[in-house]
Amino acid sequence: MIESATETALFPPIEPYRSGMLAVDDLHTLYWEECGNPDGVPVLFLHGGPGGGLSPRQRRFFDPAHYRIVLFDQRGAGRSTPLGEYHNNTTQLLIADIERLRAMLGIDQWLVFGGSWGSTLALAYGQGHPQCCLGFVLRGIFLCTRAEIDWFLNGIRWFFPEVHAQFVAPIPPDERADLLQAYARRLFSEDPAVYAPAARSWSRYEGSCLFLRPDPAAIDDFSSDAVALGVGRLEAHYFLHDGFLADDQLIRNIGRIRHVPAVIVQGRYDVVCPPLSALRLHEAWPEARLHMVDDAGHSGYEPGIAAALVAATGQFKRQQRFD
């Protein structure tokens, strides 16, 4: 029922009309693709994680007749290489990658769409390059503050105690006071026998908490080696460095983008990125429209969230504005 409702909300499946690999330094090469209308309004999709990578369904939030849809796997994620690579991987470098991709594609301005970590990166990119942004569609707000990071590692146990217990189980009792450091020691090991199970445990923990009603397919996907290494290593890496952001930077710098139209879509029962962050963002940015979806958790594929995201891209298509 949930799956069919989500499928109904999204546009039909599409394939890229072109794709490629973009070398951004001596270590990292990024996968990118374009879908939809080559002459349409450009829109940039920013995936979550960090390290989550792309999936074909992410192309489907946008009317392919209207939008020139640009998607890419961020450093260390998805089909970008090397998978799970955390060296030369910072928010500032990801922002520079976005600008390099925009210049390569000959795009002056684009709508910026991101959920979860994608909302973090969208805000950081927009605040650095507001002149390049036509608008924002943001979902499952994550401001990458120390409080949110602590919530992810420890607070989720109040709602998913059995899932959190599984997350903690591989860590010896004398290391559990600091789960981030304990996992980092394993995730950044050079031994696959050490880092691979740690990555699967970390990623499965997140995948188990995405939906209001747990989705076994999502849990299996997050448990796969192709997803787990990117998610586990890169989330731990970014969390250790507070997202490479100053304290509450994304709220303090909101004035740089307050003139740009935006929609914020938030699940009322989002346990991964609780609604308080969306409310804080909206209070700092009252011009943005906040849509609280009352019967949803975190995932962009919750039926109500998917419908709200498609409605937001549709409203921008019709009006070229959000208000």
When the pLDDT of each residue in the chain is averaged and rounded to a whole number, the result is 96
Structure tokens at 114: 């991101």
Nearest alpha-carbon partner for 35 in 1, 11, 71 = 71
Give CA–CA dist 141/116, Å, rounded. 5
pLDDT of residue 2: 55
Nearest alpha-carbon partner for 121 in 151, 90, 147 = 90
The proportion of the chain whose per-residue pLDDT surpasses 90, expressed as a percent, equals 92
- Collapsing DSSP to helix, strand or coil, 169 comes out as coil
Residue 63 confidence class, pLDDT cut points 50, 70, 90: very high
Name, in order, each residue with C-beta under 8 angstroms of 258's C-beta and a sequence gap of 6 or more: 285, 287
With tokens 């994620």, the residue in question is 77
Q: State the pTM of this model.
A: 0.96
Contact 44, 98 (CB under 8 A): yes
Residue 322 confidence class, pLDDT cut points 50, 70, 90: very low
- Mean pLDDT score, 67-91: 98
Please state the domain extents for the chain: 2-144+243-319, 147-242
In 142-224, alpha helices (H): 146-153, 161-168, 179-187, 192-207, 216-223
Q: Judge whether residue 287 has pLDDT over 70.
A: yes
pLDDT of residue 320: 62
Contact 133, 109 (CB under 8 A): yes
- Structure confidence by residue, pLDDT tens digits, 204-249: 999 999 999 888 888 888 888 889 999 999 999 999 999 999 999 9
Q: Judge whether residue 172 has pLDDT over 50.
A: yes
Contact 22, 48 (CB under 8 A): no
pLDDT of residue 226: 84
Give CA–CA dist 155/244, Å, rounded. 22
CA gyration radius, the chain: 18
Torsion of CA 104, 108, 111, 117, to 10 degrees: 50
Q: Judge whether residue 323 has pLDDT over 50.
A: no
- Collapsing DSSP to helix, strand or coil, 322 comes out as coil
Q: What is the CATH number of domain 2-144+243-319?
A: 3.40.50.1820
* Catalytic site positions: 116, 270, 298
pLDDT of residue 191: 97
- Mean pLDDT score, 276-295: 98
Strand ranges across the sheet with 18-23 = 18-23, 29-36, 67-72, 41-46, 110-115, 133-139, 262-267, 289-293
Give CA–CA dist 142/190, Å, rounded. 30
Q: Judge whether residue 318 has pLDDT over 90.
A: no
Residue 19 confidence class, pLDDT cut points 50, 70, 90: very high
Q: Judge whether residue 40 has pLDDT over 90.
A: yes
Residue 314 CB neighbour total at 10 angstroms: 15
**Bigger pLDDT: 225 vs 182:** 182
Q: Judge whether residue 61 has pLDDT over 80.
A: yes
